[in-house]
Each structure stands twice: as structure tokens, then as C-alpha cells.
Amino acid sequence: MNETIEVIKRRRSIRKFKPEQIPDSYLQEILECAILAPNARNQQKWHFTVIQNREVLDKMANIMKENMLKSGIGFLVQRAKDPSFNPFGGAPTLVLITADKKARFAEIDCALAAENILIAAESLGLGSLIMASTEFVFASEEGEEVKKELGVPEGYEHVCTIALGYKDENPPVRPRRKDVVNYVK
């Protein structure tokens, strides 16, 4: 079977990571794959913020949990109440993907870049987890301050975050629906 297809079929969402940091050479390869993603009109109205500082990661996790508790969304509140809950699974690296929300198709472009990150990480033997719920990091004034501290460009907003690291779990394939494809020949 084709190597790329094998990597895609092997990739899983990892929610538990080893504390060991990923090599800079891997990170650079992954980010190069991100910026090579297709994007509308070659606008490249995306931004990638790499966070590897443990204090900043912990601060973001705490803000996210606080805002989840305040959300009023039952399952998120329950999750945030669990003292062992770490929204990033203990990953040593996060890639925050933001976009100029005024740019047409910017969210799609970011999703394409995110997929490249996920596939590149898997091809290098790393685990990954894409999260949109990280919007809760920025759902308060404190979160907006963090966005500034992280150097997110003015006018750019959260799209998603990807946790990267060495896998500390090996989840099975989750079932996929087969009735979601329609052919018109």
C-alpha cells in the first residue's frame, strides 16, 4: 500500500503524551508541511504559534478549565471538574493556529494546514490531537491577554490547536460510518 495512505490510516487522536520534548528538526519539518498546505488565492492568512514553555502551557490549561467551568455546557463542566483533567494531555508542544477572520476561506485554509501537521507528525512517529475546544482559552479577558503574550497577530483569531508529542497511549481505530458517501456517475 502507498506510504502516505498507510500514515493516514494509522493516525489516531492521542490524549496522553510522554513529557519528553520533540526534536526541533521534527518541529521544523512539521511546520514546513503546514505552510505548504493549499490555501485560497495563496493568501496565507494563517499564523502558527508554537508553545513549548511548560509554565505557559499550564497557564493556558488552567484558563481553559476555568472557562469550561463557566461555560454551562454539561459535559465540558464535568470534564473540567476532574482534577486529573489536562486539556492538552500533557503534550510538551502545542501549535496554536489562528487566522485573519476577515480573509475569505481562512478557516478552511487553517484546517488544511492542520491536517498536514497531523499527517506529518504521524509520519515522524509522533502523536497529535487537534482541538477546537481550545477556544475556551481565549474566552475571557485573561485569555485575550495570553493571546497578546503569545504574539498572535492583531486581528487574528483562534481556529484550532494541535498538541504534539510522543504517544503515551495507543488507542484503537474508532468505527467510521460507511453511509456517508454518495456516488453520482
CATH number at residue 157: 3.40.109.10
Local confidence band at 143 (pLDDT 50, 70, 90 cut-offs):
confident
In this prediction the pTM is 0.93
Contact 116, 34 (CB under 8 A): yes
Structural domain including 97 reads: 3-165
State how many domains the chain has: 1
Q: How far is CA 10 from the centre of its chain?
A: 18
3-state secondary structure of 152: coil
Taking 80 as the threshold, does the pLDDT of residue 1 lie above it? no
Q: Can you tell me the mean pLDDT for 5-22?
A: 95
Angle value at C-alpha 150, between 22 and 100, nearest 5 degrees: 105
Residue 180 lies in a domain: no
Question: What is the rounded distance in angstroms from the CA atom of residue 161 to the CA atom of residue 185?
Answer: 38
Residue 12 lies in a domain: yes
Q: Which three cell numbers stand for residue 152?
A: 498572535
* 91-119 pLDDT per residue, tens: 999 999 999 989 999 999 999 999 999 99
3-state helix, strand, coil in the chain (%, to 5): 45, 15, 40
**Average pLDDT along the chain:** 94
* 53-98 pLDDT per residue, tens: 999 999 999 999 999 999 999 999 999 999 999 999 999 999 999 9
